[in-house]
Structure 1
């Protein structure tokens, strides 16, 4: 009887290796945010030993090799394991934080659980990292036509972003999460996309120079997602983990807005209502084109979008903005 009583206690206190990718390491926003998740996990009976990673590819490798029980990755990194949640960062698909709040609340629902497990891995929750904005070295780049001929960084494997760049007549410049800021800051690219925190944390104000800034229109949302091998955690903890991550939303958005508010107001490039509609429609046409374009790059891009997630995202956009053109257009996602 004593053995039967002790075994559950040992299992509940089992220590798991939690590998956290944050470009700024242990001092970064993501790592600090997930300390709150770590404390919640302890209350749920799971002890997590956090280890910072500044190289996302290394974190992915260590998860696959069993050195990490749980890993925190960007949505692009998660595309290696789950195309449903990997589609959250689809180009222009989640324009506003309110859209993201509705989505993340829904992802914690048991009704969505079947989509969160794929190919032996499961997603244990999603939290915001911030809207992805276009950083530019010239504030005159404030409408879609101005994008033509510009050099824009594109992350390796981000085929949908490459397709968008080529769709608008711009030139893709290959980059990685570990070096895209350096590429922009060194003048090798005219534009780059990242959360507003990159202005300060990655010193992207250097690449912007005196003439540049940030276009105040999100081209997507960047999220941090937790991934584990199926069976590494109990079903009870997996369900609780998704709730814990959803509860991080208010604190995450508070910090994200602090980063946005610290950017000098004259560095934000505000676009007019007509130009904003043009951006929205251009991004929608990019996503639609992926479904019909037979080019190799377009097919690679389309493959990362999960049809069910794209439908969910459209419904959320039309819930928060029912007057949008796409909500009445016959050519829907």
Structure 2
């Protein structure tokens, strides 16, 4: 009898020990792998997460499709990748990246702070099938601008018939490119710049984060330009399976992300300032408003289709109109 109790106690202790020592695998996407700013950012988060009762193990990926595949297969207990792809797991957080919805770093910082606020906790938890997911953080990657191989493509009308590389899994990009009359060319985040640099496409949208490491300047050459118009704000979502983490972990994590925002936006501003002025071109006031109206119409349509989340669209409009009260859209309904 005593021997049986001893064996049972041993197994109980071993089980408890393995539970305590269990590590959570986090699949982290960064175009530059472990050398990238996003990966380094999550390394800092991983260090802080020890204080919240976790022992995370980071796995670096340069291919988002592989991140999602491994997450679905159970290789990862969480992932960190662009909101455009993560939107499928939480539409509320993923809608921050709505086309034209966040036209400045100032508004982006407000939007991310709002989403991660404790008042939105319920909106950050979603159930798909039998799986529960929770947004445990949102990181800023930066505003994506238009890059064209020929600076004469400086109006919406001149974009008609031009080839535009889009991320094949993002319906929003496909719809908006078709609206301007350009030809969408399917690509992935790992190869869309290559298509631009080798002349397969005439246009792309990319943040300053990609400019130097992916050598976008090669595609620009001496005839191309960066149109200084914010097409979309690019963020990354940290999404976890909450049952694999200690209680209250996501709350602590979100608070940490909010505290890092000033540092994240300083990084974005540094990268944007690093793009030589010779590559930048401003739109005329008339064309600037044309693009804004085009993106607004696209957002309204995409929200009706269920691609963007309505509450987030209302929040983003309020944020835009708080900063720029005289903008044409502030007197219009619809968002």
Q: Can you list the C-alpha shifts for 1:126-151, whole angstroms capped at 9, x where unaligned?
A: 01001011111112222222222211
Match of 1:305 in 2: 308
Work out whether residues 15 and 48 of structure 1, in 8 Å CA contact, stay in contact via their aligned partners in 2. yes
1:72 aligns with 2:72: no
* Structure 2 counterpart of 1:296: none
Q: Is residue 125 of structure 1 aligned with residue 133 of structure 2? A: no
- Larger CA deviation: 113-122 vs 273-282: 273-282
Write the mapping of 1:48-63 to structure 2, written as runs, cut at 5 A.
Answer: 48-63=56-71
Between the aligned partners of 1:13 and 1:131, the Cα distance in structure 2 is: 40
Unpaired runs of 5+ in structure 2?
1-9
CA apart distance, 1:216? 0.9
Greater C-alpha radius of gyration: 2
Q: Measure the CA separation in 1 of the matches of 2:119 and 2:283.
A: 39
Against the structure 1 CA distance between its residues 133 and 9, is the aligned structure 2 distance closer, same or farther, given a 3 Å change threshold?
A: farther
**Structure 1 segments of 4 or more deviating over 3 A?**
6-14, 289-292
Instruction: Structure 1: state its 5+ residue gaps.
Output: 293-301
Q: CA deviation at 1:322?
A: 1.9
The counterpart of 2:94, out of the listed 73, 78, 86, is 86
> Which of 240, 243, 248 is 1:231 aligned to?
243
Deviation at 1:13, TM superposition (A): 6.3
Partner of 2:199: 187
Superposed displacement of residue 290, structure 1 = 3.7
In the alignment, which residue of structure 2 is the partner of 1:46? 54
Q: Which residue pairs with 2:318 in the alignment?
A: 315
- What is the CA–CA distance in structure 1 between the aligned matches of 2:16 and 2:59, rounded to whole Å? 26
Q: Secondary structure in 2 aligned to 1:243?
A: helix
Partner SS, residue 231 of structure 1: helix
Deviations 1:101-125 (A, max 9, x none): 1111112212111111112211111
Instruction: Give the total of aligned pairs.
Output: 321
Q: CA deviation at 1:11?
A: 6.3
- 1:23 aligns to what SS in structure 2? coil
Q: For 1:315 and 1:231, how far apart are their aligned partners in 2?
A: 35
Report if the CA contact (8 A) 1:197-1:259 is conserved.
Answer: yes
Deviation at 1:210, TM superposition (A): 0.9
The answer to whether the aligner puts 1:168 opposite 2:180 as a matched pair is yes
After superposition, the C-alpha distances for 1:22-53 in whole angstroms (9 at most, x for unaligned) are 11100011101112211221222222111101
CA distance in 1, matches of 2:23, 2:164: 43
1:136 matches 2:148 = yes
- For residues 169-318 of structure 1, the aligned pairs below 5 Å read 169-290=181-302, 302-318=305-321
Deviations 1:157-181 (A, max 9, x none): 2111111111111111111111101
Q: Distance in 2 between matches of 1:290 and 1:38?
A: 35
- Name 1:21's counterpart in structure 2: 29
Deviation at 1:8, TM superposition (A): 9.6
Cα distance in structure 2, aligned partners of 1:95 and 1:8: 50
Conservation of the 8 A alpha-carbon contact between 1:143 and 1:275? yes
Q: TM-score, normalised by structure 1?
A: 0.90
